[in-house]
Amino acid sequence: MPIIVTGAAGFIGAKLVEKLLTNDEKVIGIDNINSYYEKSLKLDRIKNIEKIKKGNWDFYKESICDDIFLNKLFINKSPKIVVNLAAQAGVRYSLENPESYIQNNLLGFSNLIECCKKYSVSNFIYASSSSVYGGNKSLPFDENASVNHPISLYAATKRANELIAHTYSHLYKLPTTGLRFFTVYGPWGRPDMAPMIFAKSILCEKPIQVFNYGDMERDFTYIDDIVEALFRCCYKPAIPDINFDAINPSPSTSDAPYRVFNIGNSSPIKLLDFINTLEKSLGKKAILEFKQLQPGDVKKTASDIKKLNEWIGFIPKTSIIDGIDNFCKWFKNYYGYY
């Protein structure tokens, strides 16, 4: 049975597809190749995928907002595992273009999970985000913490995905697993994220905007570690928690087949230290331009990953030094900085 991966031309999606194909799975990729960032990067990721096992790979340049397309696909292909990595990403962009988040992250998600229910999918995995923790101050973030105070529309849509998933797990016994990603980085990353923005600015000798005057921490997590966890979750559908206490309910489990996990490195790094590591790997000093905190930004993130470790044995293996070095080598080669 084929595995559907949405957002297959995206940073995480493309890498997961490569992993699945390398392990002899048949994969159906869906991506609308939108213009949120450069299309050429997305198309090059697809070219990388096609070099692996083209016979086990089908790709559809479509949107999950198109429920007619999705229904036809599920009828014709009968997938049993669906991984939803399609979404409108970015916290700051949600301030400028909220409609895109409503369409892709709510309507698209609802279309997809409805098809999973209708066509008896046995495992639905979807991308949530560390941003759901909003203004929480208690670190590291634990899945049992309150996530009812999002500070961006992006975060609100991701929390809504978790709630919709629980409803489908409860009503229709659909196994759903939500993964709260913490700042993913590495080769083939997104141009709108800090590593790409900073690396380009350093190499072009342009100022880096450092928000909150540098008082920021992020739980940077290397792409290969993220994909390994996703891969393992594909083969372990959520099950009801036999110890679920309905009087004192856990937000991350249920008496339905529903789970939510943090997926991070569990070793947050200060933003200025991250920039310093980039400088060493690139061999150039950064020009820093300190700015106040932007609306929607979270000052610090740190993941508690004990639950994911207990579930699938997840232990991140890539140090920040090795991860940034791998990223910088790819960045200079791909964009022609010699």
CA angle 238, 244, 249 (to 5 degrees): 110
Alpha helices, DSSP H, located in 221-270: 223-234
What CA–CA distance (Å, rounded) separates 180 from 182? 7
194-203 vs 271-282: helix crossing angle, rounded to 10:
50
Residue 154 catalytic?
yes
Bond into 140 cis (ω within 30)? yes
Strand partners, 59: 29
* Sequence-distant (≥ 6) Cβ neighbours of residue 97 within 8 angstroms: 88
If you write DSSP's letter for every residue of 44-84 in order, what string do you get? Answer: HHHHHHHTT-GGGEEEE---TT-HHHHHHHHHHH--SEEEE
Q: What share of the chain is helix, strand, coil (3-state, %, to 5)?
A: 45, 15, 40
* Dist. CA 148–CA 305, nearest whole Å: 20
* DSSP bridge partners of 128: 180
| Element of type H or E holding 176 | strand 176-181
Of 36, 154, 168, 222, the catalytic one is 154
Element (H, E) at 153: helix 153-172
SS3 192: coil
List the catalytic residues. 154
